[in-house]
Amino acid sequence: MSMLTSPRTWVDISLTALRENWATIRSAIPSDCGVVAVMKADAYGHGAEACCAALRDSGATWFAVSSPAEGKRLRVVFPDGNILVLSYFEEGCQDVLDFRLIPQVWEPWQVDVLEAAWRDRGGRGRIPVHIELDTGMGRHGVRSAGELVRLLKHCREKPFLSIEGAMTHFSSSESLQPDNTIRQIEVFGVLLDLIIEQGVEIKYIHAGNSATAFVPRHIDALRGLGRRCGATLMIRPGTSFFGHAPRFLPSGIIAPPPLKPVLSWKTRVTSLREIEAGSTVGYDMTFKAQRSTRLALVPVGYADGLNRLLSNGGGAIVRGRRVPFAGRIMMDLALLDVTEQPTVSIGDEVALIGEQEGVSVSAYDVADTLGTIPDEVTCAIAASVPRLIRD
Ligand SMILES: *Cc1c(COP(=O)(O)O)cnc(C)c1O
């Protein structure tokens, strides 16, 4: 890609790394357990269609998204498999039916919303649903035995419904001491037993996220529950597909799995200048040159998702060296202090996230600077930034 054909800023996607991560995660989970690949938020900002197609070709048969609109997009690359909608499906209820998405329900009125859509579509066939059980996450899901009995009673009156699975979500899967996940698994078991007692046969139970995939004692406990209710266990990793390895606490208790970053975020140097000691740069003059300073302009800013809190810090890589931002990050521009690299030239590729000559800035590095998690960093890269498949 030459300077003249290059976008201002772009993301390179390595489907090779994604496939390798699939293999690493798949081999960590016992072969009799399923994997639901969580691809919400446009595959954590990586581009859902290409990522799902690659995982589908690697053998993925279950995907999860957070809205019917996302599910509808995935259906195009995944004509036959299972697509779960993890939360709020009501707005796109017709799409749930038209694109054979599997919603999660936990309140009786959600069943009524599905029924209305089902009647509207001529009342044919049955709609598979999974029941969400709240075992400690506290955001959604059935919270008590009483609520569960009421929900199941309501479902029994709706022959169009087929309860295919039951799931829960862990709040602290990376914290191994104290191990609140074991407590959640116990509560999950109590609620699952109640489902069975009520005469409902479920095919699948699923729980957990990326961290769960790498904690054998959690998987073993969940498999025990699967056997107890005659259901297949599935684990739902998301972020680890993109190379963001769980950080277990206390640290070092489980070695980080060898996952590879899938995304690199790039731009180019479009202008260079030398400023004298004492000159100031950018909005509010927050950068004051301490010496004669060389600045490189890059056409990327907070409108593209480059967090403004990286101003006068953070770092990008150019010519194999990490350099800080100088002055405030602007809406669609930023400046890098390249004083230490006299050879930097117009057109040079700059990695905002990624690697050059063995030097790297990871989504974790950016997240650590900002006090957040890598998911937020990759999801924040604007949809307008092209995602290019590199390999
Ligand atoms: C996002 C999400 C996951 C995946 O979590 P990661 O930490 O990205 O692996 C799994 N299950 C549910 C319900 C989620 O919302």
Average pLDDT, the chain: 97
Banded model confidence at residue 147, pLDDT cuts 50, 70, 90: very high
Could you tell me if the CB of 210 is within 6 A of ligand 1? yes
Instruction: Give the pLDDT confidence score for residue 65 in this predicted structure.
Output: 98
* pTM (two decimals): 0.97
Please write down the long-range contacts of 98-104, taking CB distance under 8 Å and 24 or more positions apart. 98/72, 99/68, 99/71, 99/72, 99/75, 100/75, 101/68, 101/71, 101/72, 101/75, 102/128, 102/129, 102/130, 102/164, 102/165, 103/127, 103/129, 103/130, 104/129, 104/130, 104/131, 104/132, 104/167
| Residue range 339-377, pLDDT digits in tens | 999 999 999 999 999 999 999 999 999 999 999 999 999
CA 246 from chain centre, in angstroms, equals 13
Could you tell me if the CB of 131 is within 6 A of ligand 1? no
Q: Is the pLDDT of residue 42 over 80?
A: yes
Best residue among 133, 137, 233, 236 to mutate for probing ligand 1, ranked by most atoms within 8 Å of CB: 236
Q: Is the pLDDT of residue 262 over 90?
A: yes
Mean pLDDT of 10-22: 98
Instruction: Give the pLDDT confidence score for residue 60 in this predicted structure.
Output: 98
* Atom number, ligand 1, closest to the C-alpha of residue 66: 15
Instruction: Give the pLDDT confidence score for residue 28 in this predicted structure.
Output: 97
Q: Name which residue sits closest to atom 3 of ligand 1, judged by CA.
A: 209
Question: Which residues are tagged catalytic?
Answer: 40, 283
Banded model confidence at residue 383, pLDDT cuts 50, 70, 90: very high
Q: Is the pLDDT of residue 140 over 90?
A: yes
Q: Is the pLDDT of residue 314 over 80?
A: yes
| Residue range 170-206, pLDDT digits in tens | 999 999 999 999 999 999 999 999 999 999 999 999 9
Could you tell me if the CB of 239 is within 6 A of ligand 1? yes
